[in-house]
Structure 1
């Protein structure tokens, strides 16, 4: 169960555009459909309910997603990366949430038995799409290796996501994480806890990269790589 004072669930940290940038720069329009749902078709016959936890913003561009919402979107993006259009498995995802609770996509259960449950609750006509996402292995249903690798970048506390390693940086051997307890939930260098944007902002402002690296205790090569990845 989640506590009412657990800021992972209660504090909006990211606008839709900002969260989309963190999710390997996925299209913000795609994330918007996960956050707000959609109605399509001339007569509104195609509907998709929201899949990601979000709040009503005070005004356009304000933070909407708490950390748990970002984690939910992170999992959905893993499915998307595996080549499965989410509209083809929306009913099954809804059933997964109904089976395991409103934050199932940010739950440790998604790692341990989410594939088995998703296969079990699949909606009529969605098996072909799910076969791109869920495969048999050792007598049970598990996620494809693409999804498994993506989901290994999540750390859990009390059963729910508490920290995310950003794969864009991990692939370049940089430990950049999002931790809702540090730097306002913005990406940080894991070892020092310094916000990536704060460091790179100084370099973009004209400061010497070597001097900046010494000031923050970050290898200069890591800063150069981070600059390239953030361009």
Structure 2
């Protein structure tokens, strides 16, 4: 599969690390799976067609996975999540409804509508406690920027605009926003040079940016460990 400029391109491993979930689970969501002798289809159609060489995700797939993962972390069942996606898809009119501007703007109203007749205990508890959207979904939309076609940018360190995933730059790989250097490359250079200060001199940038890149890469390891 060839990556397409402006869509972003992530292997299942890269995407799972960024979202903070298992690669195997992400593959099941994107490719479907068999459960109790029943074929379960994919939760949504990926931006790239799956090929013989594996699955490739676009940036909006990444955002969808982030929100679905947040719901799963609250022990909400996949059957319920599938119903939510289907209803949201019908309301929003987009295959990937969670990563649209409309969902970000009207998500609270949409979730009230799509969960009204869902009697799963976890949903009932969340409805009684400030709502599903506010407690679970809204935090997953933080640090995202949206355009007319959906999510366009993810600031990867909360509250900072130094490290970004932008599908229009470096195929969406995490980079320093002002310099375009990948965070993974910065880790390699710091290791090779022996210090943050020396790495900063190599790139002629401020040491704090090097530290932000290292902090983001360290967070990937922390998510995996959790």
TM-score (norm 2): 0.77
Deviations 1:102-152 (A, max 9, x none): 121110122122232233133854453334555686xxx661244322212
How many residues align? The count is 214
Cα displacement (A) at 1:156: 0.6
Contact kept, 8 Å, 2:176 with 2:209, in 1: the verdict is no
1:13 pairs with 9, 14, 29, which one? Answer: 9
Contact kept, 8 Å, 1:162 with 1:179, in 2: the verdict is yes
Question: 2:26 and 2:104 mapped to 1: Cα distance?
Answer: 22
Is residue 29 of structure 2 the alignment partner of residue 38 of structure 1? Answer: no
Q: Which has the higher helix share?
A: 2
Contact kept, 8 Å, 2:12 with 2:26, in 1: the verdict is yes
Is residue 104 of structure 2 the alignment partner of residue 111 of structure 1? Answer: yes
Gaps of 5+ in 1: 1-5
Moved over 6 A (4+): none
The equivalent of 2:42 in structure 1 is: 49
RMSD: 3.1
Cα displacement (A) at 1:184: 2.2
Alignment of 1:165-184 (within 5 A): 165-166=155-156, 169-170=157-158, 175-184=162-171
Gaps of 5+ in 2: 222-226
Question: 1:132 and 1:223 mapped to 2: Cα distance?
Answer: 43
Q: Secondary structure at the match of 1:193?
A: coil
- Structure with bigger RCO (C-alpha 8 Å, 6+ apart): 2
2:144 pairs with 154, 174, 182, which one? Answer: 154
Alignment of 1:85-104 (within 5 A): 85-100=77-92, 101-104=94-97
Deviations 1:52-103 (A, max 9, x none): 5242344435x61122212222222333344534343322222211222212
